[in-house]
Amino acid sequence: MPHDASKLRDIVTSGIEEILGLKNLTEEEREGLISEMLQIVQNRALARIADECTDEDRKKFAEALEKNDADALDMFLTQKGLPDLPSLISEETLLFKVELSNLVREE
């Protein structure tokens, strides 16, 4: 997805070590887990966008994604009444972290 990948990584990983207790993992294990979490958050954001779209809208969105055109993506999301991409990712990240936290507490 467009937008600064390091910012997305920072959003997803902020506080996650405390939630999941990742301090005992090796760097390689931690990086693998973070990579999976990034993919989950991105997939959730994309699914949320897709839920609001017609088939034609999905094609337009896919084209903007392929072109890596952040302005076109933000305009598309605004027209659909969705938050901009960084906000959408932040919202999905927060929901994901809450779910993880609840799962950890249940164990």
7 pLDDT higher than 90: no
11 pLDDT higher than 50: yes
Counting other chains too, the contacts that 92-99 makes at CB distance below 8 Å and 24 or more residues apart are 92/41, 92/44, 92/45, 92/48, 93/11, 93/12, 93/41, 95/44, 96/12, 96/37, 96/40, 96/41, 96/44, 97/15, 97/16, 97/19
89 pLDDT higher than 50: yes
pLDDT per position as a tens digit, 34-65: 889 889 998 998 899 888 899 999 898 888 88
Mean pLDDT of 10-32: 77
Mean pLDDT of 7-23: 72
The whole-model pTM stands at 0.74
